[in-house]
């Protein structure tokens, strides 16, 4: 009988020790490695290791949309950031901010548009910032939906195109067209007194150029880009009623191209994309158009969210990252495509941002997040900036080009270490904390049973 008691006592003590070790180890791990922070609307991290930049300024506040829509480098290791917010760090700043290379606010530069900024574009000489969005006033002066700002001091330029509704995208068109031109898309029907539905080219005098795509009001234009090696403009959107020669042939797609040198000149370039395209960019050699969106088919081939199109033939290339989620923003640097959007549970893509090489290899970059409501991405040197809503972000490093970002090409939905982490993982710190707490709580009945056993034995001896 005594040997049985000793055996049971040893078992109870062993279980006690085991649960105690598991519980405290889990609690320590959850608090040390997986701290969840409220990062606001934009965060910078290192490209090589995916580590958050120390002491970044939290962007927050706002009244309606409460997010960052646009981020671009300033050309001097700083950043222009636009969206709908009213606080940067501890400073009251509305909707547009210039962050310097030392991660401080340029307080001499404060345009403060009165509503959200949706898009930004910087001229090649870095002297002019083009701003589009929902505002009607900027730098204390009336400018509806579109403005041009002197980057040296934040003052408003005289440039005043006057679209009659919101501007969704702005891009600077290269000088190989012979003029300084800005292309814009949006929900407008007019630029000043000139009819331009959803798409317009504007000169440095602020007037709409004679070129018109002759898009009808039944269409919705989402994005545009220009081939840097030619005179071709690519346009995406709900293109239900294009006006022009052979326009009836294009109702089966969400992307078309125009010859810039001829008004109303739809080209015969005809890839077929089954759903929306949110972002486009062309390779520097002009041979490849990269697209991101929520599509699943490209000219009969499976392409989910990301694809590349031959600019000559319109055929899909072999490049196929195969995300299962919506892609909202693309950025190109050193032959690497950076993409981000709602990569929650995405195939191949770890974290909320991805770096995709020319061969289609995908590397997850940046910290992991509980949710990935992101709108924009920009890269400068070894720094990546992402914007959106980042209220639940893991402070530990995620993945980077040299820091173990996932390249497996498999589903990555369960989370992991600093390298090869899951796609926008579940709240791993809370899960780990719960395991630790439950492990310790299980000790209570064991201790209770042990005490009762001692009590019964003492009574029996009496």
Q: Which residue has the higher pLDDT, 444 or 167?
A: 167
Residue 124's Cα: distance from chain center in Å? 23
Residue 269 is encoded by which pair of tokens?
């370039």
Radius of gyration of the chain measured on its C-alpha atoms = 27
Which has the higher per-residue pLDDT, 5 or 360? 360
185 beta partners: 169, 199
Q: Tokens representing 222?
A: 């989402």
What is the rounded distance in angstroms from the CA atom of residue 424 to the CA atom of residue 412?
A: 9
> Model pTM greater than 0.95?
no
pLDDT above 60: residue 461: no
pLDDT digits (tens, 9 = 90+) for 347-386: 444 456 778 887 777 777 777 665 556 788 899 988 999 8
Give 169's contacts (C-beta < 8 A, 6+ positions apart).
Answer: 118, 119, 132, 184, 185, 186, 222, 223, 224
Residue 432 reports pLDDT greater than 50: no
Residue 36 — pLDDT band, cuts 50, 70, 90?
A: low
Q: Do the Cβ atoms of 95 and 81 come closer than 8 Å?
A: no
| CA atoms of 304 and 295, how far apart (whole Å) | 6
Strand runs labelled E in 260-368: 277-282, 288-293, 297-298, 301-302, 306-310, 327-333, 336-341, 353-356, 362-365
Tell me the DSSP string of 372-412: -EEEEEEEETTEEEEEEE-SSEESS--B-TTTT---S-SB-
Q: Which residues pair with 179 in a beta bridge?
A: none
Vertex 375: Cα angle to 360 and 189 (nearest 5): 110
292-315 pLDDT tens trace: 988 999 999 999 889 999 999 999
Handedness of CA 372, 373, 375, 376 (dihedral sign): negative
Q: Which of 72-76, 248-252, 392-396, 451-455 has the highest mean pLDDT?
A: 72-76
15-35: pLDDT as tens digits:
555 555 555 454 444 444 457
pLDDT at 325 (0 to 100): 67
Res 426: pLDDT: 28
Asked if residue 354 lies in contact with residue 377, where contact means CB atoms within 8 angstroms, the answer is no
Cα 127 from Cα 84, distance rounded (Å): 24
In the predicted structure, residue 395 carries a pLDDT above the cut 70: no
| CATH code, residues 33-435 | 2.130.10.10
Q: Output the average pLDDT for the chain.
A: 76
Amino acid 260: pLDDT: 76
Instruction: Identify the band that residue 441 occupies on the pLDDT scale cut at 50, 70 and 90.
Output: low
262-266, 280-284, 441-445: least confident range: 441-445
d(C-alpha 255, C-alpha 71), whole Å: 25
d(CA 70, CA 83): 6
Task: Output 354-357 pairs: Cβ under 8 A, ≥24 positions apart.
Answer: 354/321, 354/323, 355/47, 355/401, 355/405, 356/306, 356/319, 356/321
- Token pair, residue 265, equals 């000149």
Average pLDDT for residues 254-279, to the nearest whole number?
Answer: 82
Q: What is the mean pLDDT of residues 416-437?
A: 35
Output 372 or 119, whichever has higher pLDDT.
Answer: 119
């Amino acid at each position: 009988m005594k040997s049985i008691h000793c055996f049971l006592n040893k078992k109870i003590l062993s279980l006690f020790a085991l649960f105690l070790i598991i519980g405290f180890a889990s609690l320590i791990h959850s608090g040390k490695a997986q701290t969840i922070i409220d990062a606001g609307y934009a965060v910078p991290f290192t490209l090589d290791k995916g580590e958050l930049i120390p002491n970044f300024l939290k962007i927050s506040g706002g009244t309606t949309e409460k997010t960052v829509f646009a981020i671009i480098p300033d050309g001097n290791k700083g950043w222009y950031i636009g969206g709908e917010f009213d606080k940067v760090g501890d400073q009251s700043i509305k909707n547009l901010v210039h962050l310097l290379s030392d991660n401080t606010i340029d307080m001499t530069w404060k345009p403060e548009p009165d509503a959200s900024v949706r898009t930004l574009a910087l001229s090649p000489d870095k002297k002019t910032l083009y701003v589009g969005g929902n505002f009607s006033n900027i730098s204390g002066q009336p400018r509806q939906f579109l403005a041009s700002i002197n980057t040296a001091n934040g003052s408003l330029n005289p440039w005043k195109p006057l679209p009659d509704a919101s501007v969704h995208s702005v891009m600077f068109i290269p000088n190989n067209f012979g003029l300084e031109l800005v292309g814009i898309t949006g929900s407008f029907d007019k630029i000043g007194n000139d009819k331009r539905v959803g798409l317009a080219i504007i000169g440095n005098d602020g007037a709409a150029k004679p070129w018109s795509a002759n898009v009808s009001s039944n269409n919705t234009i989402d994005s545009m880009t220009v081939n840097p090696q030619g005179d071709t403009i690519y346009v995406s959107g709900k293109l239900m009623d294009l006006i022009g020669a052979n326009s009836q042939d294009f109702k089966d797609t969400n992307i078309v191209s125009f010859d810039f040198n001829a008004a109303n000149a739809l080209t015969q370039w005809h890839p077929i994309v089954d759903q929306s395209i949110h972002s486009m960019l062309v390779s520097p050699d002009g041979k490849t158009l990269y697209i991101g969106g929520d599509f699943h088919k490209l000219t009969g081939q499976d392409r989910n969210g990301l694809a590349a199109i031959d600019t000559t033939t319109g055929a899909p290339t072999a490049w196929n990252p195969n995300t299962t989620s919506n892609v909202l923003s693309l950025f190109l640097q050193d032959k690497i495509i950076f993409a981000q959007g709602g990569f929650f549970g995405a195939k191949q893509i770890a974290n909320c941002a991805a770096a995709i090489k020319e061969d289609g290899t995908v590397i997850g970059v940046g910290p992991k997040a509980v949710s990935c409501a992101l709108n924009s991405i920009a890269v400068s040197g070894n720094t990546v900036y992402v914007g959106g809503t980042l209220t639940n972000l893991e402070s530990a490093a995620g993945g980077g080009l040299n820091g173990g970002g996932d390249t497996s090409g498999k589903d990555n939905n369960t989370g992991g270490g600093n390298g090869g982490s899951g796609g926008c993982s579940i709240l791993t710190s809370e899960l780990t904390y719960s395991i630790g707490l439950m492990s310790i709580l299980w000790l209570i009945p064991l201790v209770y049973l042990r005490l009762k056993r001692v009590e019964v034995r003492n009574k029996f001896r009496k």
